[in-house]
Amino acid sequence: MPNKNTDPLFQLIKSLTKAEKRYFKLHVNKQTAGEDTKYLKLFDLIDKQKVYDESKILQKDTSIKSQQLSNLKAHLYKHILQNLRNLNSDEDIDLRIRELLDYSTILYNKCLYDQCIKMLDKAKNMAEKYDKNVLLVEITEFEKRLVTKFIRTNIEDKVSLLIKASDQINEKIKNINTFSNLTIKLYSFYLKIGFLRNHKDFELVNSFLYSTLPVFQEEQLSFDEKMYLYNSFVGYYFFIQDFERGYEYAKKWVNLFDENKALILPKIEIYIRSINNLLVSQSKLHKFEEFKNTVQKLDSITKIPDLKLTENVSLLLFKYSSTHKINKYFMQGEFKKGSEIIPEIAESLENFEHLLDTHYIIIFYYKFACMYFGNNDYQNVVHWLNKIINMKDVDLRSDIHSFARILNLISHYELGNIDLVDYYIRSTYRFLIKKNDLHHFQKIIMKFLRKLSSITRDELIDAFKDLREQLIPLNDKFYERRPFIYFDIISWLESKIENRNIQEIIREKALKKISNNV
């Protein structure tokens, strides 16, 4: 019997808004009668359930037989989707164009070629206006089928124009496909290992990038081509930790939308992602004033006229706005204030958790832990890190899994759990070896933590100083500076050496970086 979270029909019904449910019922009541209303009864029964249970459905309505249930569910699922399509057809550009294509097909099949071409022209104008290149391919192919049906003279001219248009749109599609393939390939690397680890990683991603990119002139590219190109370069430069260049392309990406405001709504999800990437680069570079302005741009998205706030758009906005609320406090080194917003975000996270990808859940957990670490709340640090450490899929963002274990070790040291530190050192060492992530930084840290239990109180400050002196040079080495992105261990060591609050030290550094970017 289907699980409460896996039955597709249950999930679809639970995703409907009140307006969508009302529209569905009104439409069904007009269209059906008698036996056909069984699936409407099924709709109401499922809608009332908090946990999907087929046996209870059959008990509550004996007119629904167990042998009928599978077909009824399929029938209901199809009707809901049809109604959602009808309800959203006026608001979704892709649906509007496809509707015109459907009408064109009907007219074509009835040999009403003049009417068909007029309908097709409407679809083409709309597709060109909103840069819907994939749909333009379909429209152009349809025009080729029509060319001999409605042209009696000068057919060569029309054919030449069609071939030229077809070649141009196919070239665009080829570029878009290349750029988007590059983007998802880079993203798959990032999901697996995080930021660049070594020269081998660099060679791999660099050769892939430049062997994939076609020859192009940026100023001659269409909107969609530029959009996917900028996305690719942002991903590439973030991956190799060149946040300055990543920032340049993220800014180009957002400016592209600002210069083509009519395309924001039809491409709202990519627009939101462009703003998110600009915020990421601004936070990495401590461009705080720019960051605040870009946050306002992100927050103002819900106020865009005619925006349809779908569940998917709402999820993206929650994900990115919550992330950058946290990042704002990291940038300022205000861990106490940052810790105060974590419970609210964590509660909202529970509501979205079944929709969020595991990657982003890991990011949230790690950010929570780091915020609490800066506030000296080590119990909460361990709480959120354990959620990462206990995850089954450790191949996804293995970099965060690695540093979560190191931060966990340091947190247990701060809590005075020396016996646990000794235990976790062995398991962390095995994990790092398994994931091929035992680099110079990790070796130094592990060696230090292993000998902590034998260091006397009088020797402790000197041990911290020695560790700091070993780590500082690594920050200047391209392939060794990666760990400092995940955890500011130098500031932690300075807090121990100087007997000061870590937040105070990080805040001083943060304000200095921000002032240098004003």
What's residue 35's pLDDT?
Answer: 46
Q: Which residues contact 179 (CB under 8 A, 6 or more apart)?
A: 225, 228, 229, 231, 232
Which residue, of 88, 110, 138, is where some domain finishes? 88
Chain mean pLDDT for the chain: 86
Average pLDDT, integer, range 445-466: 81
Q: Which of 84-93, 124-133, 299-308 has the lowest mean pLDDT?
A: 84-93
Q: Is residue 226 part of a domain?
A: no
**Domain-located, residue 457:** yes
> What is the C-alpha to C-alpha distance for residues 146 and 50, in angstroms, rounded to an integer?
52
Instruction: Report pLDDT for 274.
Output: 97
* Rounded-to-integer distance, Cα 510 and Cα 504, Å: 10
Looking at the chain, the whole-number percentage of residues with pLDDT higher than 90 is 36
Q: What is the DSSP string of 357-421?
A: -HHHHHHHHHHHHHHHHHTT-HHHHHHHHHHHHT-S--STTHHHHHHHHHHHHHHHHHTT-HHHH
In-domain check, residue 101: no
If you average pLDDT over residues 452-461, what whole number do you get? 78
- CA-nearest of 430, 378, 424, 384 to 405 is 424
- Distance in angstroms (rounded) separating the CA atoms of residues 136 and 451: 66
More confident residue, 343 or 206: 343
* pLDDT band for position 61 (cuts 50, 70, 90): confident
- Of 93, 98, 173, 176, residue with least CA distance to 137: 173
Distance CA 243, CA 320 (A): 18
Q: Each residue of 334-367: pLDDT tens digit? A: 999 999 999 999 999 888 877 888 888 999 999 9
214: in domain: no
Half-sphere exposure of 205 (CA within 13 A, CB side): 26
Does the structure show a pLDDT above 80 at 454? no
Q: Which of 40-49, 78-87, 138-147, 225-234 has the highest mean pLDDT?
A: 225-234
Average pLDDT over residues 219-233: 92
Q: Which of 441, 446, 432 is nearest to 490 (CA)?
A: 441
Q: What is the pLDDT of residue 488?
A: 87
The token pair at 296 is 């306002």
Q: Which domain holds residue 463?
A: 357-518
The angle at the Cα of 483, spanning 208 to 349, to the nearest 5 degrees, equals 90
Q: What is the distance between the alpha carbons of residues 162 and 142, in angstroms, rounded to a whole number?
A: 11
Q: Residue 517: helix, strand or coil by DSSP?
A: coil
Q: Is 206 exposed, middle or buried (0-12, 13-18, 19+ CB in 10 A)?
A: middle
Domain contains 489: yes
Whole-angstrom CA distances from 70 to 34, 64, 65, 76 are: 19, 11, 10, 10
Last residue of a domain, one of 88, 112, 134: 88
Instruction: Please name which of 41, 20, 16 lies closest in space to residue 29, comparing C-alpha atoms.
Output: 41
pLDDT score recorded for residue 343: 95
Out of 88, 107, 131, a domain closes at 88
CB 221 within 8 A of CB 228: no
- Indicate whether 352 belongs to any domain: no
Tokens (6 digits) for 181: 């393939």
**Is residue 177 within 8 Å of 185, Cβ to Cβ?**
no
Considering the domain boundaries, does residue 305 fall inside one?
no
How many domains is the chain built from?
A: 2
